[in-house]
């Protein structure tokens, strides 16, 4: 059904279609609309779910863990400092191999206090064992949330998934949304190691040196297997509903001499810049990175690469730029831009391409090459 919605409302609509048995909720700007809309669905009888309003984000994830370990499909949403408050439980959800799905509305971290878009909140959780997907449109927010449940619950994966959408520049932006009747696309949740009250067992969280590393390796093995599962689920989604996704969204990259790599809404803004550059005779393309964990294999050899990082790892550099340098074997021009909602237009992105200096780093609005 074609309608219009914000990014937040699109996520909520996908959750309603996925029919989780438990939703744990604590409101925090700018994701509050997600859990508010889900609460309305539950109140109106449009979603049969146990809706648990909790006193903190830490408790929200703890409630999801408690529900998920019994084999119930679960969902929550958070943002920025809320995600940081969850941090301990985020590790536990992955370590317990629980397919929790969470929407994270990307927002800057303090100090100073800032409610606008930045990716540092999600990247601070990149080593927890969660799969992470970043979306660029309202439609993609809906579609990625639906697929997240199917990917997380696949027995080859059984890891939680974080769906990331930029705060305000997507969470509160209204765009066209085509909702679908998912039918049997998402089967009932089955957790092989779910607690069974009919067959009680003893559980102990302490893991000694002889076994701990095996659990960690199993997370990594499943993260690697997730690449194939993601491709399968995205392929099935395309066959059923006609919308195609992959680890990246490439735009005019086929013959490009220079490729702009960005995430989220900046990745969509880059497409306009590419059209302008092409009109000037510059053979540019854009590659919007969708999946950050597991990190995809990228074919960037032989091209200039401009990476726009809406994040920063102090004393190290842009997280995406360094990831590409490590995984793709190229030395990109690293641009730090958009922190805390800093405005970055397609004209700015076109300038990044025109002024590129491969191997160097620059902070947009602060200085020249550093």
pLDDT digits (tens, 9 = 90+) for 289-307: 999 999 999 999 999 999 9
Say whether pTM exceeds 0.85: yes
Number of domains in the chain: 2
Indicate whether 20 pLDDT > 60: yes
User: Minimal CA–CA distance to 29: which of 118, 125, 106?
Assistant: 106
Q: Domain ends where: 191, 210, 241?
A: 241
Does residue 368 sit within a domain?
no
Residues 313, 181 within the same domain = no
Q: What is the largest CA-CA distance in the chain?
A: 70
Please tell me the distance from the alpha carbon of residue 11 to that of residue 30, in angstroms, as a whole number: 13
Taking the C-alpha atoms of 364, 365, 366 and 370 in order, what is their torsion angle to the nearest 10 degrees? Answer: 30
Residues 111, 186 within the same domain = yes
User: With pLDDT > 70 as the criterion, what percentage of the chain qualifies?
Assistant: 99
Residues 310, 178 within the same domain = no
- For 71, residues 6+ apart whose C-beta sits below 8 A from its C-beta are 189, 190, 191, 194, 195
Q: Domain ends where: 184, 214, 241?
A: 241
Write the pLDDT tens digit of every residue in 325-335.
Answer: 999 999 999 99
Mean pLDDT of 39-54: 98
Does residue 334 sit within a domain?
yes
Is the distance from CB of 102 to CB of 90 less than 8 angstroms?
A: no
Q: State residue 202's pLDDT score.
A: 82
Q: Could you list the residue range(s) of the whole structural domain that residue 168 is in?
A: 2-241
Please tell me the distance from the alpha carbon of residue 134 to that of residue 263, in angstroms, as a whole number: 7
Q: State residue 149's pLDDT score.
A: 98
User: Minimal CA–CA distance to 329: which of 352, 348, 302, 311?
Assistant: 302
Does residue 338 sit within a domain?
yes
Residues 87, 216 within the same domain = yes
Mean pLDDT of 107-127: 97
Domain CATH number, residue 274: 3.40.50.920
Residues 7, 57 within the same domain = yes
Indicate whether 369 pLDDT > 70: no
Indicate whether 340 pLDDT > 90: yes
Three-state secondary structure call for residue 228:
helix
Indicate left, alpha or beta for 142 from its phi (over 0: left) and psi (-120 to 50: alpha).
alpha
Q: State residue 368's pLDDT score.
A: 53
Please tell me the distance from the alpha carbon of residue 119 to that of residue 104, in angstroms, as a whole number: 10
Residues 206, 347 within the same domain = no
- For 242, residues 6+ apart whose C-beta sits below 8 A from its C-beta are none
Mean pLDDT of 302-313: 98
| Angle at the Cα of 134 from the Cα atoms of 130 and 136, rounded to 5 degrees | 165
Average pLDDT, the chain: 97
Write the pLDDT tens digit of every residue in 149-190.
Answer: 999 999 999 999 999 999 999 999 999 999 999 999 999 999
Does residue 370 sit within a domain?
no
Q: State residue 112's pLDDT score.
A: 93
Residues 218, 291 within the same domain = no
Please tell me the distance from the alpha carbon of residue 267 to that of residue 247, in angstroms, as a whole number: 13
Does residue 110 sit within a domain?
yes
Residues 219, 271 within the same domain = no
- For 23, residues 6+ apart whose C-beta sits below 8 A from its C-beta are 15, 35, 38, 42, 49, 50, 51, 52, 74, 75, 76
Three-state secondary structure call for residue 157:
coil
Residues 236, 255 within the same domain = no
Provide the sign of the torsion angle of the four alpha carbons 289, 295, 299, 303, taken in this order: positive
Mean pLDDT of 230-237: 98
Is the distance from CB of 283 to CB of 323 less than 8 angstroms?
A: no
Domain CATH number, residue 164: 3.40.50.970
Does residue 369 sit within a domain?
no
Please tell me the distance from the alpha carbon of residue 159 to that of residue 294, in angstroms, as a whole number: 11
Indicate whether 367 pLDDT > 80: no
Does residue 236 sit within a domain?
yes
Residues 9, 107 within the same domain = yes
Q: Domain ends where: 241, 271, 286?
A: 241
Is the distance from CB of 15 to CB of 179 less than 8 angstroms?
A: no
Does residue 34 sit within a domain?
yes
Indicate whether 36 pLDDT > 70: yes
Residues 179, 302 within the same domain = no
Residues 100, 170 within the same domain = yes
Q: State residue 348's pLDDT score.
A: 98
């Amino acid at each position: 059904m074609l309608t219009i919605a914000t990014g937040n409302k699109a996520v909520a609509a996908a959750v309603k279609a996925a029919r989780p048995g438990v939703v744990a909720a604590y409101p925090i700007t700018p994701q509050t609309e997600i859990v508010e809309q889900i609460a309305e669905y539950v109140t109106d009888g449009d979603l049969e779910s146990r809706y648990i309003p909790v006193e903190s984000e830490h408790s929200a994830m703890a409630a999801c863990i408690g529900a998920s370990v019994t084999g119930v499909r679960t969902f929550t949403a958070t943002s920025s400092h809320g995600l940081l408050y969850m941090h301990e439980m985020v590790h536990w959800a992955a370590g317990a191999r629980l397919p929790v799905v969470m929407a994270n509305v990307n927002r800057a971290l303090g100090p100073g206090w800032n409610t606008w878009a930045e990716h540092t909140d999600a990247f601070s959780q990149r080593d927890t064992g969660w799969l992470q997907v970043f979306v660029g449109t309202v439609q993609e927010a809906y579609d990625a949330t639906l697929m997240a449940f199917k990917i997380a619950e696949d027995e080859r994966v059984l890891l939680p998934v974080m769906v990331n959408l930029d705060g305000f520049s997507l969470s509160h932006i209204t765009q066209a949304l085509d909702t679908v009747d998912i039918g049997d696309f998402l089967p009932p949740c089955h957790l092989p190691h779910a607690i069974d009250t009919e067959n009680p067992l003893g559980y102990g969280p302490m893991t000694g040196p002889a076994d701990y590393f095996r659990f960690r390796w199993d997370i990594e093995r499943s993260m690697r297997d997730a690449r194939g599962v993601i491709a399968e689920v995205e392929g099935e989604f395309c066959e059923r509903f006609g919308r195609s996704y992959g680890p990246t969204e490439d735009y005019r990259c086929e013959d490009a001499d220079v490729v702009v790599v960005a995430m989220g809404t900046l990745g969509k803004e880059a497409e306009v810049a590419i059209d302008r550059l092409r009109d000037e005779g510059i053979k540019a393309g854009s590659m919007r990175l969708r999946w950050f964990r597991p990190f995809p294999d990228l074919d960037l050899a032989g091209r200039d690469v401009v990476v726009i990082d809406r994040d920063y790892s102090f004393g190290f550099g842009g997280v995406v730029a360094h990831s590409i340098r490590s995984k793709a074997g190229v030395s990109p021009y690293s641009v730090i831009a958009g922190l805390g909602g800093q405005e970055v237009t397609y004209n700015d992105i076109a300038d990044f391409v025109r002024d590129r200096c491969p191997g160097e780093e620059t902070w947009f609005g602060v200085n020249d090459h550093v």
